[in-house]
């Protein structure tokens, strides 16, 4: 894959035979063994590997759950209880899968914020970044449909609220929204029919996701990894071979992450869920608060920030439409970051002003998450509106303007220079360049 040529040498006759017909071992070796990685990567770079493991874990636990699950109005809730109570280690599978979805999002959000801080979205990594946004959208769709499957009260009312959003299109063309909503539902209300199609899609999308992840990694291996300095790789001593260097670090990161994962799955499996989802779906009883899973809360807060007015601007009949458009744009906008940011310096380490805005943006997202979990009333609405504005201003004002007015601090000449100038007595260059001679 990409700019790095393989130095794979088959060690057996069979290996040589295969290499001449399907050089898959060569591909693996050049992509994951002697692929050059920047030597200064920190633990934030282990999240790509962690995400791959999360995806595989969701597929494995999901396929086994699907063997015991029944996607029907009458059967769904009971089949989940059957899994929890009667299937051997079913409780474990279920906890791993539902906690796994949360861990997947935790990892992906860290991965994305890493990209924002170190400018990983900038040229030449635009396509890689856009593929990432597509992955996030697919994950959201998958998780949303997955959450309907247990067919509890929160499942049922969550789908009802979210699918109903499309009816906002009625304000553009009467009947359009309603038609779309009924098409999504497969009827005039959310029912077992809806559940059944969501299950089909929930089974399908992870494999589409796997395909897009393949493209993401391909694009990565064409342009190479970014690194904490944001500098391009300029000389061989800037890099180390992926194996054993990056792989050793990745496995530490992965196992540390699995400790957190296991803690949630075994000790607080229901902490991230909602008690109402242990009540079977009932179209006649609306729960007092309908809240989505935690990973959707910031976007939910943006959606609900558009009440009859937004920061004093009256919205009238378009309020709902504005909310829906804002929510979707909040995700889509991320894809435009490469062109919105006008600074040529990648890493926020060398961007004295942008750095502060980065932390404030992180705070904005957390604040929106908190607000999304609160009832939409009083001061919470006003705060949601302020932070929604902050969210969009980060992309539409901060990114373009700060890049133009900011004077970046002095950049190191190369990754090697930066690493060697770090405190303590640097080892002689000969020793540090050792990996190439091994």
Q: What residues form the annotated binding site?
A: 97, 111, 202, 216, 221
Contact status: 348 vs ligand HEM (CB under 6 A): no
Interaction mask 252-281, ligand HEM, x per CB under 6 A: ---------------------x--------
Cβ atoms of 185 and 191 within 8 Å: the answer is: yes
Selected from 49, 90, 94, 121, the binder of ligand HEM by CB under 6 A is: 94
From the list 434, 337, 325, the residue with the least C-alpha distance to 388 is 325
Interaction mask 25-64, ligand HEM, x per CB under 6 A: ------------------------------x--xx--xx-
Residues contacting residue 92 through CB under 8 Å, at least 6 positions apart = 265
Pick between residue 201 and residue 383 the one whose CB is nearest to ligand HEM: 201
CA distance 156 to 133: 27
Pick between residue 94 and residue 125 the one whose CB is nearest to ligand HEM: 94
Per CB under 8 A, residues contacting another protein are: 39-41, 81, 84-85, 91-92, 95, 240, 244-245, 248-249, 251-252, 255-256, 258-259, 262-271, 274-276, 278-279, 288, 353, 356-357, 360, 363, 367, 370, 374, 378-380, 382-383, 386, 390, 405, 419-420, 422, 426-427, 431-432, 434-435
DSSP string, 185-234: HTSSS--HHHHHHHHHHHHHHHHHHHHHHHHHHHHHHHH----TT-PPP-
Pick between residue 36 and residue 273 the one whose CB is nearest to ligand HEM: 273
Residue list for the binding site for a ubiquinone:
221
386 binds, among another protein, ligand HEM, none (CB under 5 to 8 A by kind): another protein
CA distance 273 to 409: 45
Q: How many residues bind ligand HEM (CB under 6 A)?
A: 26
Residues contacting residue 243 through CB under 8 Å, at least 6 positions apart = 32, 33, 34
In degrees and rounded to multiples of 5, residue 40 shows phi and psi of: -105, 20
Interaction mask 211-250, ligand HEM, x per CB under 6 A: ----------------------------------------
CA distance 96 to 263: 11
Residues contacting residue 14 through CB under 8 Å, at least 6 positions apart = none
Cβ atoms of 31 and 251 within 8 Å: the answer is: no
Pick between residue 189 and residue 434 the one whose CB is nearest to another protein: 434
CA distance 381 to 307: 8
Tell how strand 36-38 and strand 239-241 pair up: antiparallel
242 binds, among another protein, ligand HEM, none (CB under 5 to 8 A by kind): none
Pick between residue 190 and residue 321 the one whose CB is nearest to ligand HEM: 190
Contact status: 203 vs ligand HEM (CB under 6 A): yes
66 binds, among another protein, ligand HEM, none (CB under 5 to 8 A by kind): ligand HEM
Cβ atoms of 139 and 69 within 8 Å: the answer is: no
Cα distance from N-terminal residue to C-terminal residue, the chain: 23
Between helix 192-223 and helix 126-148 the angle, nearest 10°, is: 160
CA distance 19 to 24: 7
Pick between residue 63 and residue 397 the one whose CB is nearest to ligand HEM: 63
203 binds, among ligand HEM, another protein, none (CB under 5 to 8 A by kind): ligand HEM
Show the DSSP H helices in 336-394 as ranges.
337-340, 352-372, 379-393
Residues contacting residue 258 through CB under 8 Å, at least 6 positions apart = none
Q: How far is the CB of 262 from ligand HEM (least distance, A)?
A: 17
Binding segment for ligand HEM among 35-43, 97-105, 354-362, 422-430 (CB under 6 A)? 97-105
By CB under 6 A, the residues from 146 to 175 that bind ligand HEM are 146-147, 149-150
Q: How far is the CB of 133 from ligand HEM (least distance, A)?
A: 15
Where on the chain is the footprint of ligand HEM (CB under 6 A)?
A: 55, 58-59, 62-63, 65-66, 69, 80, 94, 97-98, 101, 104, 139, 142-143, 146-147, 149-150, 202-203, 206, 209, 273
């Amino acid at each position: 894959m990409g700019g790095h040529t393989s130095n794979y040498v088959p060690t057996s006759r069979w290996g040589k035979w295969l290499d001449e017909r399907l050089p898959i071992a060569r591909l693996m070796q050049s992509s994951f063994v002697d692929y050059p990685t920047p030597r200064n990567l920190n633990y934030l770079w282990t999240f790509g590997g962690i995400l791959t493991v999360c995806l595989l874990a969701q597929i494995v636990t999901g396929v086994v759950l699907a063997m015991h699950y029944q996607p029907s109005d009458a059967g769904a809730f009971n089949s989940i209880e059957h899994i929890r109570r009667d299937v051997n280690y079913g409780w474990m599978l279920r906890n791993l899968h539902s906690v796994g979805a949360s861990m997947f999002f935790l990892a992906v959000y860290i991965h994305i914020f890493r990209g924002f801080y170190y400018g990983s979205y900038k040229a030449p990594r635009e396509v890689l970044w856009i593929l990432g946004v597509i992955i996030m959208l697919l994950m959201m769709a998958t998780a949303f449909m997955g959450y309907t499957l247990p067919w509890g009260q929160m499942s049922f009312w969550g789908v009802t609220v979210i699918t109903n959003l499309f009816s906002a299109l009625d304000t553009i063309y009467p009947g359009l929204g309603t038609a779309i909503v009924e098409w999504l539902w497969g009827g005039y209300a959310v029912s077992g029919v809806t559940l059944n199609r969501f299950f089909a899609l929930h089974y399908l999308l992870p494999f589409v996701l796997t395909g897009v992840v393949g493209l993401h990694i391909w694009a990565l291996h064409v342009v190479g990894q970014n690194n904490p300095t944001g500098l391009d790789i300029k000389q061989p001593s800037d890099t180390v071979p992926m194996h054993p260097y990056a792989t050793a670090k990745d496995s530490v990161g992965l196992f540390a992450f699995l400790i957190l994962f296991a803690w949630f799955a075994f000790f607080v499996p229901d902490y991230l869920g909602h008690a109402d989802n242990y009540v079977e779906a009932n179209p006649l009883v609306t729960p007092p608060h309908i809240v989505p899973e935690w990973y959707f809360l910031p976007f939910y807060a943006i959606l609900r920030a558009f009440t009859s007015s937004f920061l004093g601007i009256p919205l009238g009949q378009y309020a709902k439409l504005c909310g829906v458009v804002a929510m979707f744009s909040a995700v889509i906008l991320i894809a435009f970051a490469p062109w919105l940011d006008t600074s040529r310096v990648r890493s926020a380490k060398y961007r004295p002003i942008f750095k502060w805005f980065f932390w404030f943006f992180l705070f904005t997202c957390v604040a929106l998450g908190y607000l999304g979990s609160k009832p939409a009333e009083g001061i919470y609405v006003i705060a949601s509106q302020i932070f929604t504005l902050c969210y969009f201003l980060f992309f539409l004002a901060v990114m373009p303007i700060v890049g133009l007015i900011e004077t970046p601090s002095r950049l190191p000449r190369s990754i090697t220079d930066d690493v060697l100038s770090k405190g303590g007595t640097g080892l002689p260059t000969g020793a540090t360049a050792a990996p190439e001679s091994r």
